[in-house]
Amino acid sequence: MKFINLFAIMLLLTPLILAKTKEEWKTRTVYQLLTDRFYRDNDDRSSCGNLRKHCGGTFKGITKQLSYIKGMGFDAIWISPIPINQGDDYHGYAFIDMYKINPHFGTDEDLKELIRQCHKQDIWVMVDVVANHVACIGEDYGRIHPFNKREHYHNPCQIDFNRMWQDKYMRENCRLFCLPDLDQSNPYVRSELKRWVRYIIDTYGFDGIRIDTVAHVPLDFWKEFADAAGVYQVGEVLHGDVRIVAEYQQSLDALLNYPLYYAMKDSFTQRQSMKRIYNSLQDIKRGFKDVTVLGTFIDNHDQPRFLHGNNNIPGLKNALALIFMAEGIPMVYYGTEQAYNGGGDPNNRESLWDHMNTRSEMY
């Protein structure tokens, strides 16, 4: 009897890890949100004064508003990277300590409670992860944990975005903007990144991962990283050429369907022929190993909103219908349901709490 009671207590204290496979994820629809911009846990609905700085969204805030997400029919969420960043880096994509939770978002227990409450409501949780780079610290590597030595990084050089896709060495070794580039060929870096992704899955109970900047890391690393994670992975390769993006499905379950995104943008917002979408769908079907697990989307935190520069609500509805009907896993960016129309970063990263209208036309 004592053993049974002890076992029951352990179950309560430890996240139940039932790895969600790519086959299971095919049944889900994903609501992508930025943790800092979704909801404040103190219910303060005043607008954010500066979109380049922290606005106050938290894990507790998401937990408070799960009914808002559930009310649209979504049964999965994609949240921002969880490690602590430096200064005003509200987005989460530039960590200084991979193992510490971002205090702007909340505590370790706040995150665990969010995932517990999501699972109670049959909402799966995907977390964004970064394994390519760290925060903008110049060459002051001692500020980063656990990668605090010069040998953990590639030699400093800068990516030229005009030549990046023609120069693989540059793409995989040089810095995106000011972000020091991790050297995954270093045995310590390679093993620690894999250990970390397994750690966050086991500790918090995430059901899937979205992987940032996939094209900036050698392909062979991602197979090991995916195996270590043990859950569904969808990677970002920001390019419209099927051949370039599909190559990475050799190592990962799925990629964001950027080729379809660019085709939809051309047809729905640039008024090109719908044949552009038809041809893209044919190319995608021929080029990818498994189309059914790709992430389909109409915009995200890296792209201007679909409605930016236009007020084409019928076109927005048609584009959403396409990503829900096409093969793949639909991933809808927060604010779409409120017809947000922000432009490039940071204007496409608006606060949501001041416009959570459950009677809006798009909700």
CA distance 347 to 88: 16
> Catalytic one among 89, 207, 236, 299?
236
151 in catalytic set = no
Measure Cα distances from 363 to 74, 317, 335, 336, 338 in Å: 12, 11, 9, 8, 7
Measure Cα distances from 352 to 105, 340, 348 in Å: 16, 9, 11
User: Would you state the structure tokens that stand for residue 66, as one six-digit string?
Assistant: 């799960």
Measure Cα distances from 135 to 43, 147, 281 in Å: 30, 11, 37
Residue 222 phi, psi (nearest 5): -65, -30
Residue 30, SS3? Answer: strand
User: Would you state the structure tokens that stand for residue 5, as one six-digit string?
Assistant: 């009671």
Residue 107 phi, psi (nearest 5): -105, 170
> Catalytic one among 212, 299, 337, 350?
212
Expressed in angstroms, the distance from the first to the final Cα of the chain is: 50
212 in catalytic set = yes
Q: Give kind and range of the element (H or E) at residue 232.
A: strand 232-235
The single-letter DSSP state of residue 265 is I
Catalytic residues: 212, 236
